[in-house]
Structure 1
Amino acid sequence: MPYPNLSREEIAQHGEELYQQNIRTQVETADNIGKIIAINITTGDYEIDNDFIVACHRLEAKQPNAIIWTELIGYDAVYAVGGTLVRNVD
């Protein structure tokens, strides 16, 4: 495992970089906007689902030691507490 002792901040940084540089253009389609993507930051493999838990469990079933970063496809955050989610538009 190449990243065994990462902090939450480091996991977030690696996950965001992977998403932006390697995955985003493949998954930001009309069908996927608003869905959750769970990304294994050590392999770059991912699962997409409407449900956060389902996406993570499906990825963990294939890769039990996965270090997972999640993202809401097309938005700036996964959840909004006391606010609204902002849609990413290029």
Structure 2
Amino acid sequence: MYHGPEFTSTMLETWAMENSIKLEFIKPGSPYQNGFVERFNRSYREEVLDLYLFESLQEVREITDEWLDIYNYERLHDSLGDMTPISYLETA
């Protein structure tokens, strides 16, 4: 079993090449190049990870599933014209 980011990245790179997937990385220190993911990560961190003391991985999964349902089906997003992501997809 490999441990550490250097081994994980090597395994990911090998897997990507074997599956004809091109990896593209943002420039270090340039999170604005990936703004949608950065915004999602911030929301998840502030609304889930920072609010709970988890007792198990299963609890993390359950709370994350509940949060994702709210995030995608109930929560209005300014960037989508005050629509939920699901509503936005249905109108596209």
TM-score (norm. length: structure 2): 0.29
Quick one: higher RCO (CA 8 Å, sep 6+), 1 or 2? 1
More strand by share: 1
Indicate the structure with greater helix content.
2
